[in-house]
Structure 1
Amino acid sequence: MGIPMAKNLLKNGYAVVGNDVSTNRMEMFRKLDGAQTVDTLREMAANVDAIVTMLPESDHVLSAYETLLKSSKPEQIFVDCSTISPESSKKVSDMATRKGCKFLGAPVSGGVVGAENGTLTFMVGGDEAALKEASGLLSSMGSRWVYCGPAGSGLIAKICNNMILGMTMVAVAEAMNVAVKSGMEPNILASVINTSSGRCWASEINNPVPGAVEKSPSNDDYQKGFKAALLLKDMRLGESLAKEVGATTLLTRETVELYEEISKKGWADRDFSIAYKYFKEL
């Protein structure tokens, strides 16, 4: 996600400096026309006006911001696009406030395709005045943002969105498997679903059946896209959030169990639409 987001910032005239723990990612970043890299987060914070982060887990975000804020400047803007727990985002927001900085928790929806096309949706939690200051950054990487409320609110929205995403992907994969095994061509069923009441992102954009729609990760053996491991992480975040507020999540539990089985098959790094392959091979 970070590389295409950086490309869009560069395309919109921003000077972009990158850092990643992955040497491969750093090499990819250096190849971007006009991009620079730094070796440490402290060097990053000391030399830029705004920082956009995207990391896999809550612990990674907390650790990164402990380092970034040591070299931060007053009024510096931080935008975290990671999908983490709302409590962790609130904690980072408090850390930034104590340093005189501005922080927005702004997870995204739209996947790699949205990042590449600059059509991401940002679900923003934090100070609304800080959002106005960061609007140029966001509009360079996405087509829409929604102010969800105070710190942590954007994460609540994103987690609930991804709970639906995981469940609908499983539903589409299961139904498509029935149709294909019944002798129906997947592209024909996809065209029916996508002009009918079953239409959703999982059927229209990220269809789990190879050949059903163009540009879906399923057409590339599920090699690119949103990793099943990350979807499983988000579903578990949904369960934790539901437990905190006393909500029942029966379908979320079923989806978690399915993706746990997918991970056991060694498919955790494949796109989460690989649920279709799981059903096909049962």
Structure 2
Amino acid sequence: MATKIHNMSIHNLGIENDCRDIHDSWDQRSNVMVQILARRNAMERQQTRRIYKEIYGEDLVERLGTIDVEPINRALSLWMLDSHERDAVFAREALEPGDTNFKALIEIFVGRKSSQIFLIRQSYRARYKKQLDQDIINIDPPHSYQKILVALAASHKAHNADISEHIAKCDARRLYETVKDNSGAIEEAFVLEMLTKRSIPQLKLTFSCYRHIFGHNFTKDLKFRNCGEFENALRTVIKCICNPPKYFAKVLYKSIKGGESGEALKRVMLSRAEVDLDEIQRAFKGKYGIQLTEAICGRTFCDDYTDFFVALATKKAQ
């Protein structure tokens, strides 16, 4: 017991020293905060936030969000949040009126467990005084992604955690019936019903069974028919469900190569850093022939921003 308490004291002392180093670095043009915060795991970051407030009487997240408008401070502020709080912020940003980022919302509803979605909804309500599901329903103008998101939201509330190979095979054969005739639109009603009633693991098994039974991916059948908005949206969702590393590798590559604002890069790096970023990096290297860290360094970012993303890319999942 004494050894455990001693180790905890040493650990807290280390975090206290981090807090002092952070406090002393506010007026310096350095990456002290990047190097300190990027290496800390989620629990340690929460301890850092708590201890910093105890010592200096201010919330570190709020301070990071208000000192100036540099992207690195915004990124660090988000990094300091619990994952469900961060996802709530990303969801709210994605729901910007007139500029809805449907893919960012899909990534949340596909990439998180139902227990996490519950916390995200709570955090969204507490932070914005609104209901996330209702804000999705109210998206205007309507979009096919919206239909899929509403179905996935319902799935997270109602699905059974157990998965069934029998159900997966039945759903796979039903899906085949919807696409075997290349003329006409896919049977949206069945697809939406399936997305509503099946968990993400169950859906992943269904698409795996489809490939096993019919010899190719369901997305291939969607690609070679007269695809409309719904089919194209569905293909993106299925890719995110079936192969997240490959999906996120493509998102990162497009963000880096496209010279965009870096929002997609920031969102993926922050949300996947402690989930499956190692797998994403392997997929990135395999598909594009370059290490993710090299690609990031090739972007025109401020040094601190680049260092932060590289630090996350080399951080081991904990």
Q: Confirm or deny a common fold (TM above 0.5).
A: no
Does 1 or 2 have the higher relative contact order (CA < 8 Å, sep 6+)? 2
Higher fraction of strand: 1
Structure with higher Rg: it is 2
Q: What TM-score do the two structures reach when normalised by structure 1?
A: 0.29
